[in-house]
Amino acid sequence: MTGAGQSHIGLEDVWRARVEQARRNYETAKSECQSARRTVKDGARFQTEADFAVRIALYKETMALHEYARSIRIFKDIVIKGECPDESV
């Protein structure tokens, strides 16, 4: 295998790991958001604080989902199109 081929496979491995980490981060954020929502539904004592916690958890979930989608898109470009990632996107 040529150096470029090995380099490409190494790049795939790196981004495969990044996709998996992004997925785990998203799943964690999603779980935390669901937990925060349950707190509000269960009649939290300090409703405004609970509402704020839900908003923060939802923001974290949204950002984690965006990062997961970005990682998948970059990984797809590497595997299918053979393109090197532009990590600034």
Q: What is the pLDDT of residues 15-54, one digit of tens each?
A: 999 999 999 999 999 999 999 888 877 665 667 777 888 9
The answer to whether residues 78 and 12 touch, using CB atoms and an 8 Å cutoff, is yes
The residues, ordered by sequence, that sit 6+ positions from 79 with a Cβ below 8 Å of its Cβ are: 12
Query: Which single residue is written with the structure tokens 């081929």?
Result: 5
Residue 48's pLDDT is: 78
Rounded Cα–Cα distance for residues 21 and 71 (Å): 9
pTM (two decimals): 0.80
Residue 59's pLDDT is: 97
Q: What is the pLDDT of residues 50-80, one digit of tens each?
A: 788 899 999 999 999 999 999 999 999 999 9
Q: Give the mean pLDDT of the chain.
A: 86
Residue 1's pLDDT is: 47
What dihedral angle (degrees, nearest 10) is formed by the CA atoms of 20, 26, 27, 31? Answer: 160
Burial of 46 (C-beta count, 10 Å sphere; 0-12/13-18/19+): exposed
